[in-house]
Amino acid sequence: MNEAIEFSSIDDVEAALRAQSYLPERGLATSLFLSLAIGKPLLLEGEAGVGKTEAAKALAISLGARLIRLQCYEGLDVAHAVYEWNYARQLLHIRAAQEGSVSEEELFGPEFLIRRPLLEAIESTEPVVLLIDEIDRADDEFEAFLLEVLSDFQITIPEIGTIHAKRRPAVILTSNRTRELHDALKRRCLFHWITHPSLEREIEIVRLRVPGVSERLAAQAAAFVSGLRELDLNKPPGVAETIDWAHALAVLGCEELDPAVVEQTLGSVLKYREDFETVRDDTVLTLVQEARIAAAAAASVS
């Protein structure tokens, strides 16, 4: 395990991610920097749509590393996360050899192994960012298994033996907190809670991510969404929604928010029927007016 992938300073992380059109807050940049410097996995938590997964992707690209992603779901087991034997091939192999001359070692050798994300990350000789996405969706058994992998960076396959990481991958876990994770797992990770970005930051993000959006529209859309977050919604929109929406508005050729166009496109921001009921016509009107003022104020500052 040599030449761990890392940056030389927090500023470096910020600059590298920015080059990938990802604008991290200082806290996130610090966490990523330390995660690489200390060699500990980083657990990212936060509301849906604040950019947890995006952070890992941007990190991988800026490090020139391969991103290996393990999407967790309920019922995820070792066969889908780590390895599986290629049974069809094994059966054919036994058949082809005839006369029962196949030894067990032969049958459970590397050529019959199907590598799933975790094993792939451990075995990789090139730099790797391992993203374990939505770990809270996997069940307890899997979490317990993950402990072994994350503390020792090794995987034991009974038929073959223990495989040690050739080089320690950078590991990022994300969680939407549908349930609390085991303390043991948390102890092995650094932790960062991602919040919605500040208005200025969000305007910058929209302008960076949505080509062809006017400065004024970007500011107004960001201000409008941050106004929505103040309301009492089932699902407050995340940055991802702001970007989608700004995109939709730009495609429609908008230069500026007005209530009519907001009504048409609100579907890319709000995802629940109840939320549409909360955001009535007069609310939209007020929010549009406020967004215009806030956007103008933000423009005069920068």
Partner 1 sequence: MSDGFTRQVVTFGRVLREAGMEVGAGRLADALHGLDRVDVTRQDDVYWTLRTTLVARREELEPFDRAFRAWFLSTPVSPPGRDQDPRTMPSGAQWTRSDARMRGDAPNADGEPDSVGYSAHEILRRKDFASMTHEEFAAARRLIADIECRRPRRRSRRLRPHSRGRTLDVRRLARGSLATGGDPVNRRFRRRAEMPRKLVVLCDVSGSMEAYTRAMLLFLHALMRAGRGVEVFAFGTRLTRLTPELVTRDPEEALRRAADRVVDWAAGTRIGVSLKAFNDVWGRRALTRGAVVLIVSDGWERHDPSLVGREMQRLHRAAFAVVWVNPLKGGRDYEPLAGGMRAALPFIDRFVTGHNLASLDELAGLLSGIERRHEA
Backbone conformation region of residue 49, classed left if phi is above 0, alpha if psi is from -120 to 50, else beta: left
Among 141, 152, 255, 263, which residue sits at the site for partner 1 (rule: CB under 8 A)?
Answer: 141
Q: Restricting to residues 187-216, which ones interact with partner 1 according to CB under 8 A? A: 187, 190-193
Under a CB-based contact definition with an 8 Å cutoff, are residues 5 and 127 in contact? yes
Is 273 a binding residue for partner 1 by CB under 8 A? The answer is no
Complete DSSP assignment for 61-73: HHHTPEEEEEE--
Is 75 a binding residue for partner 1 by CB under 8 A? The answer is yes
Nearest of 151, 153, 75 to residue 118 by alpha carbon = 153
Is 4 a binding residue for partner 1 by CB under 8 A? The answer is no
- 206: which 2 tokens? 């929209």
The helix (run of H) or strand (run of E) holding residue 263 is: helix 259-265
Q: Which residue has the tokens 């309301």?
A: 231
Choose between 38 and 285: whose C-beta lies nearer to partner 1: 38
Number of residues that bind partner 1 (CB under 8 A): 52
Is 3 a binding residue for partner 1 by CB under 8 A? The answer is no
Is 179 a binding residue for partner 1 by CB under 8 A? The answer is yes
Among 235, 259, 271, 296, which residue sits at the site for partner 1 (rule: CB under 8 A)?
Answer: 235
The residue type found at 32 is: L
CA 132 to CA 98: how far, in whole Å?
42
Is 10 a binding residue for partner 1 by CB under 8 A? The answer is yes
Residues that bind partner 1 (CB under 8 A): 9-10, 26-27, 30-31, 33-34, 37-38, 40, 42, 45, 73-75, 77, 79, 84-85, 87-88, 90-91, 93-95, 98-100, 102, 104, 107, 139-141, 176-180, 183, 186-187, 190-193, 232, 234-235, 274
